Amino acid sequence: MMEMYPRGGRVILHVDMNSFYASVEAAYDSSLKGKPLAIAGNVEERRGIIVTCSYEARKFGVKTAMPLWEAKKLCPELIVKKPNFERYRAASIGMFEILRQYSELVEPVSIDEGYLDITESTGFESPMKLVETIQKRILEQLDLPCSIGVAPNKFLAKMASNMKKPMGITILRKRDIKNVLWPMDIEQMHGVGSKTAEKLRNLNIHKIGDLANGNEVQIRSLLGINGTRLIERANGVDLRRVDPDAVSDFKSIGNSTTLPKDTTNQLELFRVIEKLSEKVSVRLKNKQVLATTISITIRYKDRKTFTRSKKLENPLSGKEEIAEFSKKLFLKHWTGDAVRLLGITGTDLVEQKEAVKQLDLFSFEKDAKKEPLINAMQKLREKYGDSIIEHANNRPLKKENHTIGTDTSFNKDFLRNFNDKEK
C-alpha cells in the first residue's frame, strides 16, 4: 500500500458532513428523508434564521443564515425543526470515533468536519479504498452522508471536499492546481471572506490563479502576513500538520443576537450589549482565557454589516469591563440608524496564567495596594502549584445553555470538550 503514497509526502483527508443538522434529523426520523427540511432557531419569532437545510430545500433557493420568513416564502412546504444539540453532539462523536479507527491523527475542526492523516494507515489495497470505506461506514452506521477531500495537505483537502456534494470524493493533487484550483473565483478559496475578496479585487485579483501569481509585496501591504499565507495556499503550499490536540486552541469567543425589532433606542441597544458581554465573559472564564482585543458587529436595517475592533491596554474577561469597552466602541462607530443585529467578540486570546497586566497611570495605584496579596499568592503557587489558589473570577462557571439565533457558540464549545467524549 505504501507504494500508493507520494514519496516523502502525506495523504490528508478532509471529512465534511453534508447538511449535518438536517441529515441527523432525517436519520432520526426517516419520514423526513427526501423532503425540504430546515433547522432554525427561534422558530416562532421574526429573528429565526436558517441554521442549515437539506439539499431538497436548497433547490428552492433556501440558504443558511436566511431569515425563516424568507425561506418559507421560497418554499411553502418547508419543514422546520428546532435544533437538538445533544442529538447532533452524539452523531458527531460517533463520526469521529469511526475516523479514529483508521488513524490516530484526527483533528476535529468543528462539530461536523475534521482532518485525517492516513499516510501511516495500513490494511487496505489503496488510499482510495480506505476513503471509500470511511464514507461507506459513516453512511451505513450513522445514516449520515459526507464528502471527503483527498490531498497532500490540509488546505487542498478542504478545497477538494467542497467540490462534490453530497457524498462526493475528490482527489486534488499539486499537479492539478493550475487546471483545477486557479480558474476558481477568489471568493471560493478557503480562507478568503467577502471583505478580503473585495480588497483583492481592487488589486485586479479575481481568480485564485491571479492570487497565486500576484505581487507579494503589494498583497502583503494590503493584508499583512495573511496575504503571504494566502499566496502560499493558492500555490498549494500548506505545511500545517494534522494535530489531534488542536481542538483545545481558541482564537476568538463571541456571541451575537438578532433583535426582536429594529431599533435606534440607545438604552435598548446598551441592554443588548450588556447581555452579550455577560455571555462572552462566561465563556472566557470557562475556558480560562482573557481577550486582548474586542470587536463589535453592527447590522443595520438594510442588512449592511460592519465589524470594528480595538486592541485593549490590558487583557480582560469581566462582563462589566467588556460591556463598558463595547459600548464605547459601539458609540464610536454607530451611524444612528436602526440596528437589526449586534455581536461582541473577544479575540487574540491569552491564557490567564500567561496574561501580564500592563500597569498605567490609572491602574498603578489600585494594583500597588494589592501587591502584598499578589506576592503571597505567587509564593503559594511556587511552593504548591498553580492550582493551589485561584481568584474567584478565574474559576470556570456553570454550564451554558446553547441556542441558535441568540447564541452562536455551540460549534466551538463542542470542540472544547471533544476529548472528553463521554461528557
For 126, the grid coordinates are: 489503496
Looking at 56, 113, 274, 400, which residue is catalytic?
Answer: 113
* Phi, psi values for residue 304, rounded to 5°: -70, 135
Alpha-carbon gap, residue 15 to 51, rounded angstroms: 20
Residue 113 a catalytic site member = yes
Determine the distance from the C-alpha atom of residue 45 to the mean position of all C-alpha atoms in its chain, rounded to a whole number: 25
Determine the distance from the C-alpha atom of residue 92 to the mean position of all C-alpha atoms in its chain, rounded to a whole number: 16
For 357, the grid coordinates are: 497586566
Listed residue (70, 77, 84, 71) closest to 22, CA to CA? 84
* Phi, psi values for residue 92, rounded to 5°: -65, -45
Strands 113-117 and 106-110: antiparallel
Contact 403, 292 (CB under 8 A): no
Residues making up the annotated binding site for Mg(2+) are 16, 112
* CA distances in angstroms from 86 to 49, 93, 239, 414, listed in the order given: 20, 11, 35, 10
Contact 152, 9 (CB under 8 A): yes
* Residues that are catalytic: 113
